[in-house]
Amino acid sequence: MFSSVKPYEGQQFTALRKQCQHSRTLFEDPLFPPVDQSLFYQVNRVGKVTWKRPKELCDDPHLFVHGISAHDLHQGQLGNCWFVAACSSLASREALWQKVIPDWKDQEWDPNHPDLYAGIFHFRFWRFGQWEDVVIDDRLPTANGKLIYCHSNDSNEFWSALVEKAYAKMYGCYEALDGGNTADALVDFTGGVSEPVDLVEGRYGQEENARNQLFDRVLKVHNRGGLISCSIRATSQADMEARLDCGLVKGHAYAVTDVKKVRLGHGLLAFFKSEKLSMIRMRNPWGEREWNGPWSDSSEEWQRVSKSEREKLGVTVEDDGEFWMNFEDFTKNFTDLILCRLINTSHLSIHKTWEESVKFGSWSRNDDPLRNRSGGCSNNKTTYVQNPQYMFDVKKSEDEVLICLQQKDRRARPKEGKGENLAIGFDIQRVELNRLYRMHMSQEKVCSSVYINSRSVFVRKDLKEGRYVIIPTTFGPGLEGEFLLRIFTDVPSDFKELTVDEPPQTCWTGLFGYPQLVTQVHVMKAVGLQGQDSNGSSDPYVIISCEGEKVQSPAHKDNLSPDFDVKALFYRKKPKKDILIEIYNKNVLNDSFMGQVTLSGEVTDQPQQHTVHLRGKGSQQSNDLPGMISVIIITRNVLTGI
């Protein structure tokens, strides 16, 4: 994962530290100096700020004091609870924070060798498909001798303040972190994929089955090392950070620090009883103000749990910002949940292994419709298919597919003011099994993401075997930006961008001809096929042939009236050549013929639907009717395209 870490702005940590050690000076970062421009976009909003090194704030500074913990973090005077909540989640995952804070022992203050300290640190974040190593000096903004932003419980612990400074440098200034999305920070810390869950829209608070399924998903993400955050949506500015009677705060990001099935009862009774409660633990980045309902720190519900179980769960009666809730109350009180999955691509793992494919792309304007790549969403019918198009195959009968579209973050532009991200999204369309060239008209839409001006959008979808095209778009046409598209499947998907509009002309075109027509054949279903197996059933599949090219569908198990729903595309040099559709029964030893039909693909303005009788090979007899088949044919000029 870290074999190709890129130094941010070309600053090499090891070389810079050696220079400082050799010259016996403390590092001063020229790219992020101790001035107001490193704090704010335009105007100082906190008054007089003094930048101090940790040694000026305490006698015995450390990166960590008694290890790292979610309780180390307190938010300070910046509206970045989203970032602090993500840090709290990170602190609970040793394997993850050691990637964000590399060589942490080597970076720690060494009282035995004070001469080696050079006032320089480095941290790593995942940005737009690339891990970047960010170097900072240790000068931190203070007021009245205290840190004004993120700080720790222990006055001599500085990891949280230094990570925050590196993150602020990456985004241009501290103020760029004022208001943001926890999902972005979770991805920046892990390189994972964030899945937002709308608890209200999913009716998880009301529907038990849906809630139980969601809990299993949350538990799986947690147990496999993922990071989780949650919040209560604020509906107005006045609602932001408003405290509810239950103790929770609106418009405020909470870190999920544990997910458990808690055994109820005491002693042997607890061991043999099967009753378990779905529980989730959260932490408020403020380090105070907790949930005061059932299963809060001192509530009587905890008497239903043995002392040893409570100790194992770490239940404490303190206003430290951390608290437990049962999952039903959680889904009734919180509105949004973010699951940051660590996608496992290691074939050595005992858990599910995903095949990852990654493509970088851009939305760009061009007056030529064939070159324009900024067509907007599907509301813009004339320009929609001008967007970038990416094709992939689902090779199993059904496969769970994860798709994440991420735009290059526009917030890291301090000279232009706080940038706004584009509203982005994508559609997935099912296309012909032999599609090789760009689409020129929309096809069957099987799934869409939301359109939102967040940094990334995500879809998890079960798809049937076949070929699909992803069309990533901005909501409006004519907008420009860069994006990263990632897709995860169970088996390799042959993911690639479609860049060519039609078959290329070659030196042989004049001799053998160039396609004049393009025909889409959509075989929808067959009815009343005659059974071929000993059990009276069959496993039929269809072959579509035209001008020497064949396309074969998957077989349909034990079905005499299958919904084939299969498409094929043919670029035709000889428009008068017929289209042959044949149906066979899949057999281990020898596939058997079940019937065929011959059709012509004439040029028409509208799709032509045919429901025709199948016949035996070479048969013209009306009494030889082994079933019927429904077909839609669209034929257009190549330049018009499909």
Print burial letters for 585-621: b (CB count within 10 Å at least 16), e (below 16). Answer: bbeeeebeebbbbebebeeeeeeeeeeeebbeeeeee
Tell me the C-alpha distance between 398 and 414, whole Å: 46
SS3 374: coil
Q: What is the DSSP string of 493-532?
A: ---EEE--SSPPP-TTHHHH----EEEEEEEEEEESPPP-
Longest Cα–Cα distance of the chain, Å, equals 100
Tell me the C-alpha distance between 404 and 504, whole Å: 32
β-strands 50-52, 140-143 pairing:
antiparallel
The CA-atom distances, in angstroms, between 6 and each of 1, 19, 138 are 12, 20, 21
Structure tokens at 634: 């669209």
Q: Phi and psi at residue 362, in whole multiples of 5°? A: -155, 150
Angle formed by the axes of helices 182-190 and 81-91, nearest 10°: 40
Q: Work out the burial of residue 322: count CB atoms within 10 Å of its CB; fewer than 13 is exposed, 13-18 middle, 19 or more buried.
A: buried
Torsion angle of the four alpha carbons 571, 572, 578, 581, in this order, in degrees rounded to the nearest 10: -10
Structure tokens at 558: 């034990």
**Closest by Cα among 73, 29, 44, 86 to 175:** 44
The CA-atom distances, in angstroms, between 125 and each of 122, 168, 341, 515, 625 are 10, 12, 16, 50, 66
DSSP 381: T
The letter for the amino acid at 277 is L
Tell me the C-alpha distance between 575 and 83, whole Å: 62
Contact of 262 with 215, CB cutoff 8 Å: no
Structure tokens at 407: 């735009």
Contact of 284 with 321, CB cutoff 8 Å: yes
SS3 284: coil
List residues bridging with 568 in a β-sheet: 521
**Closest by Cα among 282, 279, 283, 319 to 302:** 279
β-strands 444-448, 456-474 pairing:
unpaired
Q: Annotated catalytic sites, by residue? A: 81, 252, 284
**Closest by Cα among 32, 4, 425, 335 to 191:** 4
List residues bridging with 580 in a β-sheet: 545, 598
- Category of 558 on φ-ψ map: left (φ > 0), alpha (ψ -120 to 50) or beta: left
Structure tokens at 630: 């429904």
Contact of 77 with 161, CB cutoff 8 Å: no
Based on its alpha-carbon atoms, the radius of gyration of the chain, rounded to whole angstroms, reads 30
Tell me the C-alpha distance between 459 and 447, whole Å: 8
Count CB-CB contacts under 10 A for residue 387.
Answer: 26
